[in-house]
């Protein structure tokens, strides 16, 4: 049965982190499915740039700032709630999809209280629960945001269980895994592109993240140093964040800075993943591991830490290997096992691609979000 045309607002972070990427990709696909989508944020989402479809949308509304001497700090929740309220009233938005508990779910709930015209779906992505939300300064507001959303989803079973444990929440949390566009994230072994980063006989290893402490980017450099002492290799570090300087310094100390490139953040990450040989993700915690999934879609085996929701994405010994957090020697050994054995490398790369297409393709995941939208609106009407 054809779904009715819906008007949806998406409240999300604008950066290259997983939550912003998923929110933007989902919003674009909801728009492509024929619904009217309005993004709301402090700046245009990273992956929305160049993707807007003119008068057909999706649309972007910037959250207005306000400086006042009495306020000694900004109030992002209030500013977002006010802009979101305007969007709801002006465009008839029926549903707000908040990606991240605070400030986005709190802002969405606030706007709902003001307008009495929209419902709220909150998707939990990880650090909004495990890091920010668990802080005493935000614990009560995070719990309130989750409990008072009309529908709540989490990107992994791990995160759903952890949310219940941290906050003592008994409400239903639907698990909808992240997805990857396997038509876009695909193997592209272009020798000319690859030659920009590595010689033909060198293994090309890549890491993508927001360079937060949880990503353990110094471990990436440590693992690479061990690999490159055994075989010719190059390391590409994609992204930016507070730990970038530490990673750069560690590469210099270990003598691998000449074989390491810090590329910063850019939207064409699929091109680099498509020519790479191995993806490293040694995080101390991951709610899901979207960057690893994008690499897998490009037939790139993964070596990661056995933490959080990563085991829901990476299958041990099939699509890659997992090691204990901080065990850089074991990660290096497993990386070399993949890179030295062509048959293992090809088998894992093909299995990784197959996993991405059969378990995490948008055609499987996006309909679940659309069904959640309809169920939320249907339940709301039943209560009226």
pTM of the predicted protein model: 0.90
What does the pLDDT read at residue 305?
98
User: Do 211 and 340 sit in the same domain of this protein?
Assistant: yes
* 280 shares a domain with 154: no
Residue 213 predicted with pLDDT over 80: yes
Burial (CB count within 10 angstroms: exposed 0-12, middle 13-18, buried 19+), residue 327 = middle
Whether residue 330 is contained in a domain is answered as yes
Count of residues for the chain?
384
Please indicate, yes or no, whether residues 204 and 348 belong to a single structural domain of this protein: yes
Say whether both 28 and 52 belong to one domain. Answer: yes
- The β-bridge partners of 207 are 237
190 compared with 302, residue with greater pLDDT: 302
Helix H or strand E segment including 259: none
Number of domains forming the structure of the chain: 2
What tokens appear for 28 in the block? 């674009």
The yes-or-no verdict on residue 26 having pLDDT over 70 is yes
What is the rounded distance in angstroms from the CA atom of residue 353 to the CA atom of residue 341? Answer: 18
Q: Which whole number is the average pLDDT over 316-320? A: 98
Residues 352-377 have a mean pLDDT of: 96
Q: Looking at residue 230, what is its pLDDT?
A: 97
Any idea which of 54-63, 158-167, 290-299 has the lowest mean pLDDT?
54-63
pLDDT band, very low/low/confident/very high, at 384 (cuts 50, 70, 90)? very low
Q: Note whether 255 and 312 are same-domain residues.
A: yes
| Cβ neighbours, 10 Å, residue 226 | 18
Asked if residue 184 belongs to a domain, the reply is no
| Residue 84 structural domain | 7-179+361-383
Task: Lowest mean pLDDT of 8-17, 82-91, 125-134, 187-196, name the range.
Answer: 125-134
User: In this structure, are 94 and 136 located in the same domain?
Assistant: yes
The pLDDT score that the predictor gives to residue 253 is 97
Instruction: Answer whether residue 20 shows pLDDT above 90.
Output: no
Task: Return the CATH number at 205.
Answer: 3.40.50.2000
E strand map for 176-318: 203-208, 233-238, 260-264, 278-281, 302-305
Whether residues 112 and 140 share a domain: the answer is yes
Pairing verdict, β 302-305 and 320-323: parallel
Q: In this structure, are 280 and 334 located in the same domain?
A: yes
Task: Look at 62-66, 154-158, 304-308 and tell me which has the smallest mean pLDDT.
Answer: 62-66
Out of 21-35, 42-56, 160-174, 287-301, least confident range: 42-56
Whether 157 and 218 map to the same domain: the answer is no
Instruction: Give the CB-side neighbour count of residue 27, counting CA atoms within 13 A.
Output: 38
Say if 341 falls within a structural domain: yes
Residues 31 and 169 in one domain: yes
Q: What is the pLDDT of residue 383?
A: 45
- The position carrying tokens 């779906």 is 121
> What residues pair up with 40 in beta bridges, in sequence order?
11, 61
Torsion of CA 313, 314, 316, 317, to 10 degrees: 140
Residue 186 in domain: no
In this structure, the answer to whether residues 275 and 378 fall within a common structural domain is: no
Mean pLDDT for the chain? 90
Looking at residue 17, what is its pLDDT? 67
Region of poorest pLDDT, from 133-147, 201-215, 236-250, 310-324: 133-147
334 domain-assigned: yes
**Which band of pLDDT confidence, cut at 50, 70 and 90, is reported for residue 94?**
very high
Share of the chain above pLDDT 70, in %: 90
**Are 219 and 329 members of one domain?**
yes
59 contact partners, CB below 8 Å, separation of at least 6: 36, 37, 38, 39, 52
If you average pLDDT over residues 331-339, what whole number do you get? 98
């Amino acid at each position: 049965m054809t779904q009715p045309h819906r008007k949806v607002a998406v409240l999300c972070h604008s950066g290259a982190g997983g939550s912003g990427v998923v929110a933007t990709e989902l919003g674009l696909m909801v728009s492509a499915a024929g619904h009217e989508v309005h993004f709301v944020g402090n700046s245009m989402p990273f992956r929305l740039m160049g993707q807007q479809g003119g008068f057909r949308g999706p649309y972007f509304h910037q959250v207005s700032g306000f400086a006042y001497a009495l306020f000694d700090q900004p109030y992002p929740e209030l500013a977002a709630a006010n802009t979101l309220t305007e969007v709801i009233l002006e465009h008839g938005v029926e549903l707000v999809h908040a990606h991240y508990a605070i400030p986005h779910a709190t802002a969405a709930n606030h706007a709902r209280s003001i307008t009495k015209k929209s419902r709220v779906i909150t998707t939990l992505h990880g650090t909004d629960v495990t890091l920010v939300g668990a802080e005493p300064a935000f614990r009560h507001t995070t719990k309130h945001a989750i409990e008072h959303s009309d529908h709540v989803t989490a990107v992994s079973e791990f995160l759903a269980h952890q949310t219940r444990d941290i906050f003592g929440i008994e409400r239903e949390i639907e698990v909808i895994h992240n997805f990857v566009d396997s038509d876009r994230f695909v193997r592209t072994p272009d020798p000319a592109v690859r030659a920009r980063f590595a010689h033909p006989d060198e293994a090309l290893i890549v890491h993508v993240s927001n360079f937060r402490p949880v990503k353990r980017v110094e471990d990436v450099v440590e693992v690479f140093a061990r690999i490159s002492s055994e075989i010719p290799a190059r390391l590409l570090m994609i992204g930016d964040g507070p730990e970038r300087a530490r990673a750069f310094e560690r590469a210099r100390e270990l003598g691998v800075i000449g074989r390491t490139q810090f590329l910063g953040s850019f939207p064409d990450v699929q091109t680099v993943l498509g020519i790479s040989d191995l993806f490293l993700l040694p995080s101390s915690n991951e709610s899901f591991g979207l960057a690893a999934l994008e690499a897998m879609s490009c037939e790139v085996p993964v070596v990661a830490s056995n933490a959080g929701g990563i085991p829901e994405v990476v299958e041990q010994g099939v699509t890659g290997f997992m090691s204990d957090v901080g065990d850089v020697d074991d990660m290096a050994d497993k990386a070399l096992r993949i890179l030295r054995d062509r048959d293992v490398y090809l088998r894992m790369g093909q299995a990784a691609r197959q996993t991405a297409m059969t378990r995490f393709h948008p055609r499987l995941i996006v309909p679940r979000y659309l069904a959640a939208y309809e169920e939320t609106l249907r339940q709301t009407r039943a209560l009226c």
